[in-house]
Chain A
């Protein structure tokens, strides 16, 4: 967990969800409310009894609800050593208390813990009224609860998305995802495929199916980036039992599809090969990943690549289906 104050732009991009939570959660959300509180007329013996009873290692001292000090186990030990256990808590408590405010972010408390080495921080409102107490344990619990909430939210999204086709009744329901792929955009190469894979997982596809579709769409995406004149589009249509993935562009077209389907055959330039592409395996990989692959290409109108994946059961009862390319 970060306890640094300012984040640079580049490190801000890398922060983890836990660090994000330190900025999102407020102290009021994670603190212990209504803490065990000592009052000004209590003796050190009363404090010892309370601290022993609740198994805590210190407690704030309040007068009319307002925070005036904090008492720790060390203070108790001092009074025992002095043999003055019957004296008032106000004599032994720390008067200058480091506090945090309820509406501040958890990260402020983390900074305070790092700076001061105190074990607990009383939480006060704008009128110095004691409303809670915060330990590092409270923060850990709060962050874990929030992470659990994230997880449940993702599960809910998945549940809702995967029941889309059951919940919405029509003669034929489908969901269409579209992505624009730019020519030579190696920097974002794979971004659309990753999004498609994630969407398919949310829609209830198995890991295996999402992975295979991801690989097929990645190859198609990279083909649009590397080989087209002007980039192209990816279109994924998901319906019950079937995923149809389509990549299309407006040129230059594939003059000889059979040649393009030959493992190892590639028209990639040496520059592109240096980036790791041009193995001549793209279409071969796609064909191996999906149940059906259809390429339509002409030097006049460009290339249309259809990739179809059947979910659960293939209409022919054959799990892998037939592989066609026209």
Chain B
């Protein structure tokens, strides 16, 4: 599944710079708001669903080579976090929906890993 389809289907708001998302292939996802759990659970090149919006999510995603973070419940990262994500080439997306609903959508799209 490419990230472009995910962004369009889930109607996600792009917070980082625009780029060609059809090139970014996603086949796994992880949902947690505890960074240590993400450390063990998230796979490389997947998406991470969380309602944490502070700068630490970028460090974790960069270390784990997570491609995109979907920030839920309309939580807003600050400008510094967005700039850091741009530098680390991590896509930040946001939505009003809950982590539960986003995960449900991703499962429905066929991301079951």
Interface set of A (CB-CB < 8 Å, partner B): 10, 13-14, 186-187, 189-191, 193-194, 197, 211, 214-215, 218-219, 222, 275-282, 284-285, 288
Given A14-B83, A194-B63: A288 and B40 interface contact (C-beta under 8 Å): yes
B32 to chain A, nearest CB (A): 8
What are 23 A-B residue pairs whose CB atoms fall within 8 Å in the complex?
A14-B17, A14-B83, A187-B55, A187-B80, A190-B62, A191-B59, A193-B63, A194-B59, A215-B64, A218-B63, A275-B52, A275-B56, A276-B34, A276-B35, A276-B52, A277-B35, A277-B36, A279-B34, A281-B36, A281-B37, A281-B40, A284-B36, A285-B40
Point out the residues of chain B lying under 8 angstroms from A211, CB to CB: 44, 63-65
Cβ B39 vs Cβ A13 within 8 A: no
B14 within 8 A of A: no
Find residues 3-38 in chain B having any chain A CB closer than 8 Å to their own CB. 17, 33-37
Give Cα A281 to B32, complex, Å.
13
Point out the residues of chain A lying under 8 angstroms from B33, CB to CB: 276
Interface set of B (CB-CB < 8 Å, partner A): 17, 33-37, 39-40, 44, 50, 52, 54-57, 59-60, 62-65, 80, 83, 86-87
Q: Name the residue of chain A whose CB is nearest to the CB of B17.
A: A14
Q: Can you name 8 extra interface pairs (CB under 8 A) apart from A14-B86, A189-B59, A191-B59?
A: A186-B54, A187-B55, A189-B56, A190-B62, A193-B59, A277-B35, A279-B36, A284-B36
Given A186-B54, A218-B63, A279-B34: A285 and B86 interface contact (C-beta under 8 Å): no
Cβ A279 vs Cβ B56 within 8 A: no
Q: Name the residue of chain A whose CB is nearest to the CB of B63.
A: A214
Point out the residues of chain A lying under 8 angstroms from B64, CB to CB: 211, 215
Point out the residues of chain A lying under 8 angstroms from B57, CB to CB: 276
Give Cα A284 to B40, complex, Å.
10
Point out the residues of chain B lying under 8 angstroms from A214, CB to CB: 63
Given A10-B83, A186-B54: A282 and B36 interface contact (C-beta under 8 Å): yes
Give Cα A275 to B59, complex, Å.
13
Point out the residues of chain A lying under 8 angstroms from B63, CB to CB: 190, 193-194, 197, 211, 214-215, 218
Cβ A279 vs Cβ B83 within 8 A: no
Point out the residues of chain A lying under 8 angstroms from B39, CB to CB: 215, 218-219, 281, 285
B67 to chain A, nearest CB (A): 15
Cβ B60 vs Cβ A190 within 8 A: yes
B60 to chain A, nearest CB (A): 7
Q: Name the residue of chain A whose CB is nearest to the CB of B81.
A: A187
A262 to chain B, nearest CB (A): 13
Cβ B35 vs Cβ A186 within 8 A: no
Cβ A275 vs Cβ B54 within 8 A: yes
Q: Name the residue of chain B whose CB is nearest to the CB of A191.
A: B59
A222 to chain B, nearest CB (A): 8
Point out the residues of chain B lying under 8 angstroms from A191, CB to CB: 59
Give Cα A293 to B74, complex, Å.
40
Point out the residues of chain A lying under 8 angstroms from B37, CB to CB: 279, 281
Q: Name the residue of chain B whose CB is nearest to the CB of A215.
A: B39
Point out the residues of chain A lying under 8 angstroms from B54, CB to CB: 186, 275-276
